[in-house]
């Protein structure tokens, strides 16, 4: 479920050496399965262990994961990186905002998973996001841009060169294209 690098394990052992005997770490997700999901790591003293926790053994310590966070920490990684700017503990949990879906899930569920776990985190750095509106009978994924993407002059480039390319590579036999909801709608507010 969670991969902790050797350097991160050594870092945790060092940190835990200053804590009371029997203290481990807790890995958790706040607001799992939502766009606001945040992952974290904290100390977990013996009296904070819950009956439904899953316990993972590492070199010199254990990691506790609560039942609610567990499905959202699948494929999570923790690393401890040192560079010219100093040292940093990094936690990556690609499934925190949306529980990983099975390969036989519906196309819309699989696309929504990719949007939440891969595309929206990239757009978030610019204050933007997208959501899946529908998949047409012709196999076109209709998306709606939000946040900082609204009114951005780069939306067309992001859509065609980024999002469409990525989704067509991932779902080649199921998707035929990707459009912005404003391209797809007809009516007095449409530019068509």
Element (H, E) at 2: strand 2-4
Give the Cα-Cα-Cα angle 69, 71, 72 (nearest 5 degrees).
Answer: 65
Which of these, 128, 145, 146, 135, lies nearest to 177 by C-alpha position? 135
- Name 65's bridge partners: 27, 54
Tell me if 147 sits within 8 A of 129, measured CB to CB.
yes
Element (H, E) at 77: strand 76-83
Kindly report the number of other CB atoms within 10 A of residue 152's CB atom.
Answer: 15
149 assigned to a ligand binding site:
yes
Which of these, 188, 171, 192, lies nearest to 180 by C-alpha position? 192
Give the Cα-Cα-Cα angle 8, 30, 75 (nearest 5 degrees).
Answer: 50
**Which token pair is 41?**
């790591």
Query: How far is Cα 172 from Cα 55, in angstroms, rounded to an integer?
Result: 39
DSSP 34: S
Could you list the residues known to form a binding site, using ranges.
149, 152
Could you list the residues known to form a binding site for [4Fe-4S] cluster, using ranges.
149, 152
């Amino acid at each position: 479920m969670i991969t902790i690098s050797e350097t991160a394990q050594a870092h945790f052992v060092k940190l835990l050496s200053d804590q009371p005997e029997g203290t481990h770490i807790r890995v958790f997700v706040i607001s799992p399965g939502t766009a606001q999901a945040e992952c974290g790591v904290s100390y977990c003293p013996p009296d904070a262990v819950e009956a439904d926790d899953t316990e993972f053994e590492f070199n010199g310590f254990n990691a506790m994961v609560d039942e609610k966070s567990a499905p959202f920490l699948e494929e999570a990684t923790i690393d401890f990186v040192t560079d010219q700017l100093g040292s940093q503990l990094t936690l990556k949990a690609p499934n925190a905002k949306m529980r990983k879906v099975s390969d036989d899930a519906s196309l819309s569920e699989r696309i929504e998973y990719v949007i939440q776990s891969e595309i929206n985190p990239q757009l978030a750095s610019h204050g933007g996001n997208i959501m899946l509106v529908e998949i047409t009978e012709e196999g076109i994924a209709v998306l709606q841009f939000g946040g900082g993407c609204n009114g951005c002059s780069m939306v067309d480039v992001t859509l065609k060169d980024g999002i469409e390319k990525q989704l067509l590579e991932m779902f080649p036999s199921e998707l035929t294209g990707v459009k912005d909801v404003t391209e797809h709608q007809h009516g007095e507010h449409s530019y068509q």
